[in-house]
Amino acid sequence: MTVAGGVSPSDHKGELRVVGTSVTREVELLLDRLAAATGKRALRVLQVGSRSLVSDRNERNWRALLTRRFGERATFIGIDLFEGSNVDELLDICSPPKALKAALGEEPFDLVICCHVLEHTRDPMRAARNIESVLRPGGLAFVATPWSQAFHATPDDYWRFSVRGLMLMFEGLEILSAFYSGGDVGLDVAYRVERDGKPELDSRAGAVEQGLFQLVLDHEDNRAVLARQATERLPVSRTYMPTLFVNVVGRKSA
């Protein structure tokens, strides 16, 4: 990924700022971008890992959001490894490109949504290449992945990602927005790290991110947290791990 506007983060002279926002607001901005890019023409949207689960009670219904915003102009396709609600095609995003085209057709997508999926893929780099390949020039991708989250094997759990890690994976996308969010049910708080109104992606932001999101508990605090858990946990150092997601909106070069 590169920075939107073609400006190098090292050229930013303004103050580094942490901007409060919400996931709801960021999704609205994403749909605004999609509307501006597609105008009145028909559009295609792909959701990777679309199966609805009881445990996903805090997840957005992207099909409903797109239908409400764009009506019949939007063709929505949901893919997943397993059959279930909201799944149109049984398909692995790590499949060879020919298999993807056979299942999804030759027409590219205007938006690809990949939320809380990459950590479960055996080959996230291939998944990233495939997401880029099915996007039309100027198309958008919304990727959400965990930086810290409890182990959740659905069907397995392999990886964790940072914003700059996603930049390396999605090198064919221009980054438009990046923000951090939590995972508690009913909590819709998010933060962007910016300089001059643009996402700050340089490693200089690392110190700010570390101060914001790293939690270190001493031994007694750790024991107290463990004592309040609903189920028994092993008393290992820093067992308490808050959920933190990294979210990135990227655009494929025209």
Residue 180: how many other CB atoms lie within 10 Å: 20
pLDDT of 125 reads 97
Is 98 within a domain?
Answer: yes
**Cα(first)–Cα(last) distance of the chain, in Å?**
14
User: Alpha-carbon distance 110 to 43, whole Å?
Assistant: 6
User: Alpha-carbon distance 90 to 74, whole Å?
Assistant: 21
Is 175 within a domain?
Answer: yes
pLDDT of 238 reads 46
Is 66 within a domain?
Answer: yes
pLDDT of 107 reads 97
- Token pair for 76: 């929505």
Q: Tens-digit pLDDT profile for the chain (254 aa)?
A: 555 554 444 444 688 888 999 999 999 999 999 999 999 999 999 999 999 875 555 578 999 999 999 999 999 999 999 999 999 999 999 999 999 999 999 999 999 999 999 999 999 999 999 999 999 999 999 999 998 887 888 889 999 999 999 999 999 999 999 999 987 666 788 999 898 888 888 877 777 777 776 666 666 776 776 677 666 665 554 445 568 899 999 999 98
Is 235 within a domain?
Answer: no
pLDDT of 54 reads 52
pLDDT of 58 reads 56
With beta carbons less than 8 A apart as the criterion, state whether 222 and 234 touch.
no
Is 220 within a domain?
Answer: no
Count of alpha carbons within 13 angstroms of residue 165, beta-carbon side:
16
- Report the domain count for the chain: 1
Residue 71's CATH number: 3.40.50.150
With beta carbons less than 8 A apart as the criterion, state whether 170 and 250 touch.
yes
**Cross-strand bridge partners of residue 174:** 2, 251
Is 212 within a domain?
Answer: no
Is 248 within a domain?
Answer: yes
- Token pair for 101: 């085209």
* Contact partners, residue 137, CB within 8 Å, separation at least 6: 252, 253, 254
Is 189 within a domain?
Answer: yes
Q: Which of these, 145, 148, 143, 160, lies nearest to 213 by C-alpha position? A: 148
Residue 33: how many other CB atoms lie within 10 Å: 17
DSSP labels for 119-170?
Answer: GG-S-HHHHHHHHHHHEEEEEEEEEEEEEE-----SS-------HHHHHHHT
- Token pair for 227: 């004592």
With beta carbons less than 8 A apart as the criterion, state whether 201 and 178 touch.
yes
Q: Which domain holds residue 114?
A: 13-51+58-197+242-252
Task: Identify whether 146 is preceded by a cis peptide bond (ω within 30 of 0).
Answer: no
